[in-house]
Structure 1
Amino acid sequence: MAKFILRRLGASFLVLLGGSMLLFFLVTISGDPLADLRESNADNKEHLIRQRTEFMGLDTPWFQRYGVWLGGIAKCVTLSCDLGTNMNGTDVGSLLGNAAQSTLRLVVLATVLAIVIGVIVGIATAIRQYSGFDYVVTFLAFLFFSLPVFWAAVLLKEYGAIRFNDWIREPTFTLAQIAGTAIVLAVILQGVLGGSAKRRALTAGATLVFVVAAMSYFSATEWFRRPMLGIAFVLLVGLGAAVGATALFSGIRNRRVLYATLGTVAAGTASHLIVLPLLEKGGWGTIFGLLPVALLVSAAIGWFVGGYSRKPATVLSMSVAVIMGMLTIADVASRHWASLLGLKPRPISTIGSQTPNFAGGFWESFLDKGAQIILPTIVLTLISIASYTRYTRSSMLEVMNQDYIRTARSKGLSERVVIVKHGFRNALIPITTIVAFDFAGLIGGAVITEQVFGWKGMGELFRTGLDHVDPAPVMAFFLVTGTAAILMNLVADLAYAALDPRIRR
């Protein structure tokens, strides 16, 4: 395995070297970096031209400048990278750090959401092949996959930012809005859950009543201006997560695992009241300091309660603990939404990743940054969900028709075990490739999204470098995206070996 990894890294290095040389050459011949200064009427035009020529090394051939850049990259071995300066003399390394931080904050969240939602929906459509739910999801998947990113982003800015900011001043629903929303959700949910006509009618009726009651309550109390989740919400969602995770991965009849996850929910609910005053003070140090405590407590619960199922009990208990922690953070953040609206009446901006010179506290800043990231995340997630759903569905359908699946069923194994342990594990192999390349591709694909939403990320760095015929920012972009693509490709190969022992040989 070590020999294989070293061979792949060597080949990848040669690919990066050739690609970087070609890109550097193409950028340098794509235009005149002094064009704007030559047309300038400034008195110090000649001084500005000499200064830019010095910053960019325009008095030397392109291959010599490429050699200087390559020498700076070689210093990364000693953790002292020199990415050069841009046309204004600014260190590209500092620009890359800020840009990468902004883009990764967007890309990582969008990728995780797309993977989780897309894989789950893909499995569900494969299990219910040719059902109404399958047809609807297939249609939506092709629709989202075909959406132009810039068009979807502009629509979200209009309806998710501008009109939402108008509505949040008086967040009430009309009778027509309540009735329309309830009917649409009732039709969708009964189609998703399926079943007999009686079961569909009960599902639609229950959904209709619940949505009407909830929207009426939210409208009457203006809940969207003063939201508060509360401990009851944390407890109910935690119980749902515990029961659902146990039923999916271990089986609801495995009482040891069920008791472990329910015990974690009880501990999380009790700790919710204890840590609330600590979290109110804010600070990432407090949040990340409490995380290992929650993991240790939940691991101990799973270990001692799990009995003969200690391993799954421990893993699921720790997963439920993470969910409980996220619910607690969401509860604390929701208590500060009203104060955010007091500081910023229009909470979702259409430009930028955060509000300049924002004067709020930790949780107000947390909500402000969260509000700014939601729209571009939705755009990237919708585009990626479509591909994950289709690939997961086709992979699961191929696997579920194999002989070993029929053998597993004939042995009397439950459908959950057949799908999760025998089907999904083998269906993950082709999906792993998509996950690896999608993460690297989203960094480059976020160029359009960042431009529409005004994010100062990798896309902005790349576009600015191309517009001004400035190789240094473009090469920094290539260095990050190219390295990410190669590393993700290597991770995919290693994941193959972990999923299928035959590949190791």
Structure 2
Amino acid sequence: MASFIIRRLIASIFVLFAATFLMYILTALSGDPLEDLRQGNAPNKAELIEARTKLLNLDVAPPLRYFLWLGGIFRGDFGVSIQNQPVNALLSNAITSTLTLVTTATIVAIVLGLIVGIVSALRQYTGFDYGVTLMSFLFFSLPIFWVAVLLKQYGAIQINNWLAEPTISVPVIAGISIVTGLIWMSLLGGRWRRRLTVFAVSALATAAVATFFSVTQWFADPSIGIVVFSFLALGIAVGVTAISTGLANRKALYASLIVAAIGIALYFPMLNYILNGMTMWFFLVLAALSVIVSGAIGWFMGAPDRAPVVRTTAIVGFLVAGLIALDKYMSYWAAYSNSSRVRGRPIATVGASTPGLGGNFWVQGIDLFTHLLLPTIAIILISFAGYTRYSRASLLEVMNQDYIRTARAKGLTGRTVVVRHAFRNALIPITTIIAFDVGAIIGGAVITETVFGWTGMGRLFIDGLNAHDPNPVMAFFIVTGALAVLFNLIADLVYAALDPRIKVG
């Protein structure tokens, strides 16, 4: 495997050399970096032109200038911009902003796309499958800049107006209830009597919850509360166990319920004492501890087959801890929304943070969430459509294989056939799509960042192109190219992990 990785890295380096050379030449020949100075009326125009020429080595031919730039890259220096700012500093700020946005959107899109695609494949030719197919093609065909503008209008401006008095009208409650009932009815399937029962129960439950939210104006000061948290924690324990090992594995079920019970017991101490005065490092330590302690419970209770039990309890512990953190964030929502900087309009449309906001760890987290919300949704909608279609097609192809029919003939449960046999092999083509999409998503974030005013890689790239400045453009290109190469290498390694027949070497 080591020799394979080395060979791939060497080949990738040569590909990057060729690609960066072509990109540098095209950028250098796209315009005159001295155009603004030539058209200016400054009394020291000649001195300014001479200074910029020396700064950017404009007196050197572009092919030779590329090698000067390349020598700086080997020293870790991306050069300076046309405004005499170090590109390293510009890149450091830009890449942090962009990766925050892209990482969140990519992870959510992959998870949602896989889940919905798999369920759609398992419910092939049902109402749910047709609905998902329609929505996928609709989202896939929408241009991202148009989606972003619509989100700013209806996902921010209109929602902020509604949050001033967050009551839900009766027609809206009825519409939401009917749509929810139809979704659950098509998702669970069965005979018409069962479908109508599922529709009625889910619609009435949705109407009751929406009415409660409207009467109490829950969205103005949201919270989960110990009662709802207890039901959700126990539901997570049962649901994760059902998917991970099956409810027939009593050791996994009991261990997961113990983890949920510990989370319920720690609910008030965590909210009122432990989570006060929080910092990022302490937050990460608590997240790691929740996974480690939950996994340890699974290890002690899971003998002799410990691995699936540990996996299940670790996931349950992480999700239950996440619910507690979410409730803590909610407790600061009213303070954030009513602050002098936000002024009752919490859903942001521009920028990555609220200037001069201040506040503790939780307020800053809410501020980051409100600024990430709309651009993340814009990227998710476009990516989600592709992941849903690919995962559905891949799973349908796998489910028709001979070894799946053999597994069913052996008497294995449907969950075991899908999770252990079909799902793993269906991930192989999805891995390829994800590897190729990483670079494309960062490139696509140029449009999203422009619409939502994020100062990230997109702004760095656009400003460099407008100024005919190759150094920021090349910094953008190096990052996206390196990420594409890295994730394609990771994809090859994941192939070998998913399919033992594939040899990496």
Instruction: Place the TM-score, normalised by the shorter chain, in its bin.
Output: over 0.9
Residue in 2 that maps onto 1:313: 309
Structure 2 CA distance for aligned equivalents of residues 320 and 22 of structure 1 = 50
Return the offset for 1:188. 2.6
Return the offset for 1:46. 3.4
Residue in 2 that maps onto 1:402: 401
**Segment of structure 1 superposing worse, 276-285 or 316-325:** 276-285
1:242 partnered with 2:241:
no
Structure 2 CA distance for aligned equivalents of residues 387 and 327 of structure 1 = 29
Matched letter for residue 37 of structure 1: L
SS at match of 1:379: helix
**Segment of structure 1 superposing worse, 22-31 or 379-388:** 379-388
Quote the sequence identity (%).
50
Matched letter for residue 106 of structure 2: T
Residue in 2 that maps onto 1:337: 333
**Matches for 1:212-291 after TM superposition, within 5 Å:** 212-276=207-271, 277-291=273-287
Residue in 1 that maps onto 2:374: 375
Structure 1 CA distance for aligned equivalents of residues 44 and 192 of structure 2 = 81
Return the offset for 1:361. 2.6
Structure 1 CA distance for aligned equivalents of residues 497 and 464 of structure 2 = 40
**Matches for 1:67-78 after TM superposition, within 5 Å:** 67-75=67-75
**Matches for 1:475-494 after TM superposition, within 5 Å:** 475-494=474-493
1:323-378, CA deviations, whole angstroms, 9 ceiling, x for partnerless residues? Answer: 11211111000000000111112112211111112133321121011000011111
Return the offset for 1:47. 3.7
Structure 2 CA distance for aligned equivalents of residues 129 and 423 of structure 1 = 15
**Matches for 1:444-455 after TM superposition, within 5 Å:** 444-455=443-454
Structure 1 CA distance for aligned equivalents of residues 9 and 281 of structure 2 = 37
Structure 1 CA distance for aligned equivalents of residues 257 and 437 of structure 2 = 36
Matched letter for residue 491 of structure 2: A
Equivalent residue for 1:168, pick from 145, 152, 163: 163
1:423-481, CA deviations, whole angstroms, 9 ceiling, x for partnerless residues? Answer: 11111111110111222221111111111111111111111111110000010001100
SS at match of 2:220: coil
Matched letter for residue 281 of structure 2: G
Matched letter for residue 99 of structure 1: A
Matched letter for residue 230 of structure 1: G
Residue in 2 that maps onto 1:466: 465
Residues 20, 474 of structure 2: 8 Å contact kept: yes
Residue in 1 that maps onto 2:109: 114
Structure 2 CA distance for aligned equivalents of residues 399 and 189 of structure 1 = 26
**Segment of structure 1 superposing worse, 125-134 or 251-260:** 125-134
Structure 2 CA distance for aligned equivalents of residues 175 and 129 of structure 1 = 34
Residue in 2 that maps onto 1:30: 30
Return the offset for 1:96. 0.6
1:182 partnered with 2:181:
no
Residues 352, 454 of structure 1: 8 Å contact kept: yes
1:195 partnered with 2:190:
yes
1:94-135, CA deviations, whole angstroms, 9 ceiling, x for partnerless residues? Answer: 111111111111111111111111111111111111111111
Residues 20, 475 of structure 1: 8 Å contact kept: yes
Residue in 2 that maps onto 1:78: none
Matched letter for residue 212 of structure 2: Y
Q: TM-score, normalised by structure 2?
A: 0.96
Structure 2 CA distance for aligned equivalents of residues 233 and 286 of structure 1 = 26
Return the offset for 1:409. 0.8
Structure 1 CA distance for aligned equivalents of residues 174 and 131 of structure 2 = 22
1:372-405, CA deviations, whole angstroms, 9 ceiling, x for partnerless residues? Answer: 0011111111111111111111111111111111
Residue in 2 that maps onto 1:135: 130
Residues 461, 477 of structure 1: 8 Å contact kept: yes
Equivalent residue for 1:206, pick from 194, 201, 206: 201
Residue in 1 that maps onto 2:20: 20
Change (3 A) 1:389 1:339: same
Please list every run of 5 or more consecutive structure 2 residues that lacks an aligned counterpart in the other structure: none
Matched letter for residue 109 of structure 1: T
Please list every run of 5 or more consecutive structure 1 residues that lacks an aligned counterpart in the other structure: 76-80
SS at match of 1:171: coil
**Segment of structure 1 superposing worse, 191-200 or 222-231:** 191-200
1:3 partnered with 2:28:
no
Structure 2 CA distance for aligned equivalents of residues 229 and 191 of structure 1 = 29
Number of matched pairs: 500
**Segment of structure 1 superposing worse, 118-127 or 174-183:** 174-183
SS at match of 2:428: helix
Matched letter for residue 195 of structure 1: G
Return the offset for 1:43. 3.6
SS at match of 1:501: coil
Matched letter for residue 71 of structure 2: G
Return the offset for 1:53. 2.2
SS at match of 2:302: helix
Residue in 1 that maps onto 2:86: 91
Residue in 2 that maps onto 1:147: 142
Residue in 1 that maps onto 2:353: 354
**Segment of structure 1 superposing worse, 176-185 or 242-251:** 176-185
Residue in 2 that maps onto 1:325: 321
Matched letter for residue 224 of structure 1: F
Matched letter for residue 444 of structure 1: G
SS at match of 2:219: coil
Matched letter for residue 86 of structure 1: S
Change (3 A) 1:124 1:86: same
1:57-103, CA deviations, whole angstroms, 9 ceiling, x for partnerless residues? Answer: 2122212321121111112xxxxx10100001111011111111111
Residues 108, 439 of structure 1: 8 Å contact kept: no
Matched letter for residue 155 of structure 2: G
Residues 123, 187 of structure 2: 8 Å contact kept: no
Q: TM-score, normalised by structure 1?
A: 0.96
Residues 109, 377 of structure 1: 8 Å contact kept: yes
Structure 2 CA distance for aligned equivalents of residues 427 and 180 of structure 1 = 36
SS at match of 2:303: helix
Structure 2 CA distance for aligned equivalents of residues 400 and 132 of structure 1 = 20
SS at match of 1:88: coil
